[in-house]
Chain A
């Protein structure tokens, strides 16, 4: 039996999305900037995708910009907003558990003279709201906070955060990295006070290499790529029509039968954490039952190295991540796990299981069975 429990790394692409993409490559392969019919048809694909996606967020179509994925969306949101607003101030706030595609643009801006405040988090991985209130100044132009943490699944109270921002400095913009949140939560940027929202296609059963950024029309933002002036000059480059059509299908399907899918995910999570906690020497990181994201379970295992456990599971066709997969090609201690105070001996023994609505209970039962066999064996051969 195969159990793919690494859906926060990437997901299987919907068949319907693949079909639409194939059509966009083989039949309607025009360039939307071309003046002829083929171009007009290709442009229709982009318009359709904007309409569908805008509808999932209840925003305007013109507020959706297509990018090459989550990393570019975050870079554009942060660097683009910072550069466009630096006359108003040079201070930016973010959290200490962000993805590298947020922290590295922040570090880049720091080199350019901006001041960056990294907010601490509590043991559950939630930012400390009073610290946010303290950090906000006249000079703050941007606050960037992730919706769902990719390593431990902690969820930030976005509405409370935006209320604090608007109270302390109504001119500051609020960016949310929604890469792990879109499709798992209903997002209403206008109501929730979110000015920019980043999404990646391949985390929601869409293709890799495509994503979008919602930019509220009142946000002052500059491009970070320069070229032919596509997408109102904010994101030059011929639109990735196959990717955008695939993303369109995936976004639409993400919010179909939404409640039953989320219910299914919570049931999976509840079952899985319960079972894990019955095993000896297993600890769950992040938020308690019912509060964290429905699709992520981070567990630390006493006396087992995550890499060894990962490869042992892999031998039995169970696929998981050690720490955060996006950065696990350079083994380093996870910032997020350190920030939430995971014990030193557990930093090296933490596994992330992440589900999709396609995950079945049988896969989890199988995984628990395998863990029951593996853990005693692996603990027998402890590293010295």
Chain B
């Protein structure tokens, strides 16, 4: 088996290299560039193909109704869609300020050696498997948030508002922590690329430290937006860590962050292993929906970056 795999991969690799070398450079690069596009199109086509029975049977009701009842074959993805949008919004709201301050602090205020150490530590946290974050969320973050929220709401005379450690809020905060190092890494890059001349000009007109930072961030706004949308994509796609802390309520569409819910990707992660019949098709429809929402948001992102980014 291993031999066959080696031959197939090795030969196709050698063939591809030879073909690329023989072709004109520009044509070869265009071919390579087209591969991801073709793969993406194929993947979407595959999702659509597998999801077709579900769309044919349930129609648009699949997206706008709330139901998850495999014994009766009734499905609706509204809670998952709402949950995905809510948790991602919370995550972005938490991660962007954190990431911006981390990037600015690293580039502006920390001395050289410390900057290196903290910078590589942040990159390390970006590379940590998210299931570790999930365990931390289940054992530490969830109970902490529950105590915090209930403490505040009791002080305000509202009583216990958060009944359990698992909720959409827990998932959102967890996602915020997960994506912060990603956004920070990109903003840091952009910040470091600001030309020395611009920096000197900023100080030359008598800007204070705060004004200088704001101006530089404005100069690097393309990177800030790019980091934001990359982080958003990751937040929407995160599966295991969210599945552990989101609460797994498939049938109750809610805008209340303190109640348990579900996101599209955690729904797929939780339900796929034991699915059969229409459930599989519905889960592919959910994947299609997530891809569509992701593409839509990224299109907005590209538009914004073009409009304001450069």
The answer to whether A binds B is no
Residues of A bordering B, CB below 8 Å:
none
Residues of B bordering A, CB below 8 Å:
none
